[in-house]
Amino acid sequence: MSWFARAVPHAREAATVLFTSSFQAMLSVGALLGGLVVDAWSVSVAMVCGGVCALLMARVLLWSRAQQEPGT
């Protein structure tokens, strides 16, 4: 959220609204996709999909941090 506030220091309230609404939208999308996976396969498959998504996101975050380091 601090990134949103730094990106638009003159409109912090709008940045807060954008952050909150995007967060809520992604929660809704995750619930929808999880429900679809459970309906199509099983709860176990949904848990595996969640774990894979978490690992992929961790990899993306590590990669993006390496891109920000000076000299690389």
Token pair for 63: 């990669």
Average pLDDT of the chain, as a whole number? 88
Q: Residue 72 pLDDT > 60, yes or no?
A: no
- pTM of the predicted model as reported, rounded to 2 decimal places: 0.66
The Cα 43–Cα 28 span in angstroms is: 18
Q: What confidence score (pLDDT) does residue 17 get?
A: 87
Q: What's the one-letter identity of residue 30?
A: G
Q: Please give the residue range of the domain that contains residue 41.
A: 2-68
CB 15, CB 4: distance < 8 Å = yes
The count of structural domains within the chain is 1
Residue length, the chain?
A: 72
Q: Residue 55 pLDDT > 60, yes or no?
A: yes
CB 65, CB 59: distance < 8 Å = no
Beta strand ranges found along 1-72 (DSSP E): none
Q: What confidence score (pLDDT) does residue 7 get?
A: 78
